[in-house]
Structure 1
Amino acid sequence: MSRSIKDLFVKGIIYLATGITLSVLLFIIGFIFVQGIGLVNWDFLTRDFNEKVGYAFTEAKDVPLSIDEEKLNDINSLDNRYETALEGPIYIENIGAAISKVAYKNHSTEREQIVVTYLEKDSSLQSAIDSTGVEIKIGPDYMLQSINGKDFTDLSLDEVAETIAAQSGELKIKIVQPGGGIKSNIITTLYMVLLSLLVALPVGIFGAIYLTEYAKPGKLVNIIRFAAESLAGIPSIIFGLFGMAFFVVALNFQISLISGSLTVAVILLPVIIRSTEEALKTVPMAFREGSLALGATKLQTIFKVVLPCAVPGIATAVLLSIGRVVGESAALLLTAGTVAQIPGTLFSPGSTLTVQAYYVAKEEGNIELACAVGIVIIVIVIVLNILSRITSDKLDVFNKK
């Protein structure tokens, strides 16, 4: 009887611990989604974080309004995260678009702006080009600041509409592409994942092969394994300090994508080495002996027999590495920077999603925006993990055939 009570008690503790774990995870994910889901939309994913100011060149062309005024007034194309309508809209035929005056809030600043709220499909703004001749797809939420040198500052909406309507021929319009998006952060994160894995995977796998297949058991191997395990537990800020001192300063790579990628690759090495080593150990020794008995060399046995059988374990190392790269922030703050831009070269700075979430939460106090970035991080990790798992399963099936 006492044994049954003891078993029930232990089982209850197990169920309680499981329930607490699941509850905490669901609460964290639920909090992030509740706080940030309202900010996640297509514009959020495809816009840059900062505004872009430039000039659009087009020809004035009268385009009649194809909808009635009541429907025009009902159109709400404004991005609710950043704008509040103050006046308008007013439709202007010679640009085929409606404009409104709004209180535009971008991050921590707020000011009045003239914003495009509706465009006809034949609007001349739809075929505008920039100063280099590249086509600009001006759309709702784009801000207009001047036309043919006539500035809109301190003008009422009616005065702006009259100024635009009085223009003819070639139009030179100063526009502002709205910010508030994370496109550059998404691309930088994917770059970071790809580059760091390209460096860390070969080095880590070859290191694991040496420890498993070539190294003789002894103090040296034990020291290497102990060092790898110890490095896996060191806080990433230590690696960040190393990366800043070595890659940024000593090698003069500056704060850049390549400095961040190499630093993260160093962080990943212990995880990849230990995971791959354990995967190689699971391959039965009989497989090696059979391959060698058939005349294969040691190297052929490793690459044609042992490694293919260890693919599921290596895939686990890749999955862990992807999550570590996407979730890294401390080391990248010191080596890759916080500039919200798509790195033009390997030596350009960039900000990953995790770094951007830290920045908007710490510097701007915008918890909702940080949670929105967190939602995107969660989705990217899930998608990359699924793709990695599918790839490893296909390779595993191929190897079995």
Structure 2
Amino acid sequence: MNKITSGNLKKRRIKDTILNGITYLSSGISVLVLAAIFIFVFTQGFSSLSLDLLTGNYWANNYLTTVEADRNAPDCFQVPKELGEEVAFSEAWGVGFVDALDENKEPIVLIEYIDEASPFASLIDKSVHDRETKLSAEVGYQVERINYMGKDGHIKIVGNLMSNDAKQVAQALDQNAQSIQEMYFKTPGGGIRGSILATLYLIVVALLVSLPLGIAAAIYLREYASKNKLTGWIRSAVEMLSGVPSIIFGLMGVTVLFPITQLFGATTTNILLGGLTLAVILLPTIIRSSEEALIVVPQSLRDASLSLGASRSQTIFKVVLPNAIPGILTGVLLSIGRVIGESAALIYTMGTYVNDAPQLLSQGTSLAVHIYNIMSSEQPNFELACAISIVILVFVLILNISIKWISRRFHKAMQ
């Protein structure tokens, strides 16, 4: 046996130090890049997060209104004590305005307060031509345009379209408005409620189709299939399928799966088509993760079950499969993450129209495609895109924690 000389030992230590340094350096760079991404996303998007963003509609509603004839005159209203200094209150019309920024960071004027007796609470919707519809202006409405009759008998205009701020609008109404001729309001818009619903639809459809097929395929490959060339070819095909670009699956979905959705009454690209396409994309992930979970189950459990008189199918479904659930849930988590982050295939199969009330047979956008829409417009909104990214990250984090908790419960139950 050759003795290790001090020189060789020194060289080995130097080599080990260099390799360890490279490992630590690579790990540190990875952590720094990941931290930089998180910091950028949260610093840019956190200020745009709000309950209105999560629950609001993307498309704004437009209201062209006028004041009821018997209420269309200035009065005298007291300034409410609870209003802040930032609110510009019109004492003649009993309405308060406030300055704000829209989703594109453009200055706008919003209604902040309306007195119960204010003429702004007694409006007629002129956009409905076949019948007279009464409505009231609400807090949060954007004041796009107010046409009023001035003291000189001429019609004047104030509002967002005239680049007025809240104070200018209130002063114009107090000092000059004798009657309101017409008002144009808009709801804020810019919400992602429809995209959140569409994403949930996609997750449900994709998992309902891919989970049974993927787990069944994994059970066959692990528990039933013989070790021959055919089984090897099937595994190779599954692995090759996982490397196909998702845009190819999108084209496949439009040409192959769209006729299936037509049987349910679909006439255009739709959420159901997107879910079926994602189910095909997820199959390799679910098959491989489920098969690995089955492999981890000790062979002794199978032998013990069979020795007690259980059949092969009873052993698989009552002994092996329950013990493999934690690993299968990991595959489910990876699949859900793939669904949330997918965009290329969905652009072909679901379209890019943001639908505030998505249905299975209608178009819609997932959260990832919603980000694509925002960033591909003429004026990309980095803040809103980052805010949606935060929603996706939080959603994935909650799913991760939930699945780990479920896995631990199953693991304890099987012990």
Please report the TM-score for the alignment, with normalisation by the length of structure 2: 0.78
Where does residue 194 of structure 1 map in the other structure?
A: 204
Where does residue 368 of structure 1 map in the other structure?
A: 383
Is 1:266–2:266 an aligned residue pair? no
Alignment CA distance shift 1:2-1:144 (3 Å): closer
Alignment CA distance shift 1:219-1:54 (3 Å): farther
Where does residue 49 of structure 1 map in the other structure?
A: 58
Runs of 5+ consecutive residues of structure 2 not aligned to the other structure: 1-9, 148-154, 160-168
Alignment CA distance shift 1:397-1:250 (3 Å): closer
Measured after TM superposition, the shift of residue 53 of structure 1 is 2.6
| Conserved? CA contact 1:257–1:343, under 8 Å | no
Deviation per CA, 1:64-115: give whole Å up to 9, x if none. 43217xx54334xxxxxxxxxxxxx233576x53135x6975549x7x9763
Is 1:139–2:143 an aligned residue pair? no
Where does residue 22 of structure 2 map in the other structure?
A: 13
| Matched residue count | 375
The 1-side partners of 2:50 and 2:194 are apart by: 15
Deviation per CA, 1:339-358: give whole Å up to 9, x if none. 22244421011111111111
Q: Which moved more, 1:197-206 or 1:290-299?
A: 290-299
The 2-side partners of 1:300 and 1:35 are apart by: 54
Alignment CA distance shift 1:121-1:197 (3 Å): farther
Is 1:115–2:129 an aligned residue pair? no
Q: Which moved more, 1:248-257 or 1:264-273?
A: 248-257
**Of 258, 271, 289, which aligns to 1:275?**
289
Aligned amino acid, residue 74 of structure 1: E
| Conserved? CA contact 2:89–2:97, under 8 Å | yes
Measured after TM superposition, the shift of residue 327 of structure 1 is 0.6
Where does residue 218 of structure 2 map in the other structure?
A: 208
The 1-side partners of 2:46 and 2:156 are apart by: 35
**Of 227, 230, 235, which aligns to 2:240?**
230
| Conserved? CA contact 1:65–1:93, under 8 Å | no
Measured after TM superposition, the shift of residue 126 of structure 1 is 8.9
Q: Provide the secondary structure at the position in 1 that maps to 2:231.
A: helix
Alignment CA distance shift 1:323-1:104 (3 Å): closer
The 2-side partners of 1:208 and 1:239 are apart by: 22
The 2-side partners of 1:137 and 1:200 are apart by: 48
Q: Provide the secondary structure at the position in 2 that maps to 1:154.
A: strand
| Conserved? CA contact 1:338–1:350, under 8 Å | yes
Aligned amino acid, residue 48 of structure 1: N
**Of 365, 386, 391, which aligns to 2:401?**
386
The 1-side partners of 2:413 and 2:95 are apart by: 57
Is 1:241–2:251 an aligned residue pair? yes
Alignment CA distance shift 1:343-1:255 (3 Å): farther
Alignment CA distance shift 1:161-1:240 (3 Å): farther
Runs of 5+ consecutive residues of structure 1 not aligned to the other structure: 76-88
| Conserved? CA contact 2:242–2:284, under 8 Å | yes
**Of 326, 330, 349, which aligns to 2:340?**
326
Where does residue 340 of structure 1 map in the other structure?
A: 354
Measured after TM superposition, the shift of residue 298 of structure 1 is 1.8
The 2-side partners of 1:287 and 1:153 are apart by: 85
Deviation per CA, 1:122-163: give whole Å up to 9, x if none. 98989999999999993234447679xxxx983473565689
Measured after TM superposition, the shift of residue 5 of structure 1 is 1.2
Q: Provide the secondary structure at the position in 1 that maps to 2:90.
A: strand
| Conserved? CA contact 1:145–1:176, under 8 Å | no
Deviation per CA, 1:196-221: give whole Å up to 9, x if none. 11111111111111111111111111
The 2-side partners of 1:21 and 1:210 are apart by: 39
The 2-side partners of 1:393 and 1:227 are apart by: 33
Alignment CA distance shift 1:207-1:137 (3 Å): farther
Q: Provide the secondary structure at the position in 2 that maps to 1:348.
A: coil
Where does residue 186 of structure 2 map in the other structure?
A: 176
| Conserved? CA contact 1:116–1:144, under 8 Å | no
| Conserved? CA contact 2:140–2:187, under 8 Å | no
The 1-side partners of 2:226 and 2:96 are apart by: 77
Q: Which moved more, 1:192-201 or 1:124-133?
A: 124-133
Q: Which moved more, 1:252-261 or 1:119-128?
A: 119-128
Identity %, equivalent residues: 39
| Conserved? CA contact 2:57–2:191, under 8 Å | yes
| Conserved? CA contact 2:289–2:331, under 8 Å | yes
Where does residue 91 of structure 1 map in the other structure?
A: 90
**Of 295, 298, 312, which aligns to 2:309?**
295
Measured after TM superposition, the shift of residue 331 of structure 1 is 0.5
Is 1:154–2:157 an aligned residue pair? yes
Where does residue 85 of structure 1 map in the other structure?
A: none
Where does residue 30 of structure 1 map in the other structure?
A: 39
| Conserved? CA contact 1:228–1:270, under 8 Å | yes
